[in-house]
Amino acid sequence: MNRSDFTANWHTHNFRCRHARGDFADYARAAIDAGITVLGVSDHCPTPDDRDIGVRMFHSDLLGYIDGFRASRDAVPGVNLHLGVELEHYRDILPAYAEELLSRGVEYIAGATHFFMSRDGEKLSAWNEIAESEQPRRALEYGDFVVEMIESGIYAFIAHPDLIGCFCDRWLPECEQATRKIAATARDCGIPLEINTSGYNKPLKVDAGTGERRAQYPWEPFWKAVAEEGATLIINSDAHLPESIVQRLDDALALCDRCGIEPAVFPKVSNNRLCC
């Protein structure tokens, strides 16, 4: 893939989550300037009980989000704007809540992997440090949780499925095992996995295995294993600012080259599935 082939970006945000800036039209204009013709806005989805509210819009803002999209959809010619949300896999309200979102006009749901559930039912954040001795079993639990997400059929794609790289200090055999399971399930279910370029802007981490500084995500050994399993990949920018609409694309393209993978570009969405 060349830079100019990056014409569809399905993961961007909106001021409503309170840690991003800009509204639909701002991202649409930035997209056009960057040669993007298909733009999905997928802000952090609220829940009816406003859980984890520090990083997402309030439930009372959802209507304004949907109406804001409708008002902006045709306002910027030259880009096809689509309405999505980025939703955590909250088992207790799914799949019913997902169906409600889709019935209200949300076109697609991106699966977020910021949290995962342990086998003991503990909610763990992939961003938090995990003791080295715990990392092997947490890596497997993370993998099983992402597999559950893919198999649920709720998500059009899985956003940054490699957050395992945030809490694992080195590429463990369990990372390999978890990744292979995620990738094989994604391949068999036809659900794309996302290389998330915003990860390149996060603080680097010194890898305990290689001794080198690396991005927490995208994590290269993850994508090498995905490439071998033959799952479909997409690149998204996860922009939280209009000017970040194609942030760090060259790093993602170089990663794909090293892994020998060709990302897919999906120009359309239908029934909560990215398609051609």
Q: Which lies closer to Zn ion via its Cβ, residue 135 or residue 196?
A: 196
Question: Residue 238, interface with Zn ion (CB under 5 A)?
Answer: yes
Q: Which is nearer to Zn ion, 8 or 225 (CB)?
A: 8
**Residue 51 · residue 92 · CB < 8 Å:** no
With contacts defined by CB under 5 A, name the span among 76-84, 205-213, 236-244, 256-264 that binds Zn ion.
Answer: 236-244
For residues 84 and 171, which CB has a smaller minimum distance to Zn ion in the complex? 84
State the virtual CA torsion across 247, 88, 266, 24 in degrees, nearest 10. -60
- Cβ proximity to Zn ion, 135 vs 197, nearer residue: 197
**Closest to 108 (Cα-Cα) out of 266, 274, 237, 236:** 274
Instruction: Taking each helix axis as running N to C, give the angle between helix 220-229 and helix 249-259, from 0 to 180 degrees, rounded to the nearest 10.
Output: 50
- If one asks whether residue 26 binds Zn ion (CB under 5 A), the answer comes out as no
Closest CA to 257 of 237, 222, 227: 227
* Residues within window 198-217 making contact with Zn ion, judged by CB under 5 A: none
Q: Backbone dihedral region of 18: left (phi > 0), alpha (psi from -120 to 50 degrees) or beta?
A: left
- Give me Rg for the CA atoms of the chain: 18
Element of type H or E holding 220: helix 220-229
- Least distance from C-beta 265 to Zn ion, angstroms? 19
Least spacing, CB of residue 89 vs Zn ion, in Å: 14
The least CB distance from residue 159 to Zn ion, in Å, is 6
* 194 touches Zn ion by CB under 5 A: no
Peptide bond into 218 cis (omega under 30): yes
User: Measured at CB, which residue is nearest to Zn ion?
Assistant: 238
Question: Measured from the CB atom, is 140 or 193 closer to Zn ion?
Answer: 193
Across the chain, the runs of DSSP E, i.e. the strands, are 8-9, 38-44, 80-88, 108-112, 115-117, 123-125, 157-158, 193-196, 205-206, 213-214, 233-236, 268-270, 273-275
Q: CB 144 → Zn ion: shortest distance, Å? A: 22
Residue 98 beta carbon to Zn ion: minimum distance, rounded to whole angstroms = 17
Cross-strand partners of 196: 236
| Number of chain positions touching Zn ion (CB under 5 A) | 2
What per-residue string of b and e applies to 165-178 under the rule 16 or more CB within 10 Å gives b?
Answer: bbbbbebbebbbeb
Q: How far is the CB of 56 from Zn ion (least distance, A)?
A: 8
To Zn ion, the closest distance from the beta carbon of 269 in angstroms equals 17
Residue closer to Zn ion (CB basis): 156 or 172: 156
Segment 130-149, which members bind Zn ion (CB under 5 A)?
none
- Residue 13 or 138: the one with the smaller Cβ distance to Zn ion is 13
Q: Name the token pair of 183.
A: 């990738």
Considering only residues 72 through 131, tell me which ones interact with Zn ion, judged by CB under 5 A. 86
**CB 191 → Zn ion: shortest distance, Å?**
17
Cβ-based nearer residue to Zn ion, 140 or 246: 246
Single out the segment in contact with Zn ion by CB under 5 A; choices: 32-40, 58-66, 185-193, 230-238.
230-238
**Residue ranges binding Zn ion (CB under 5 A):** 86, 238
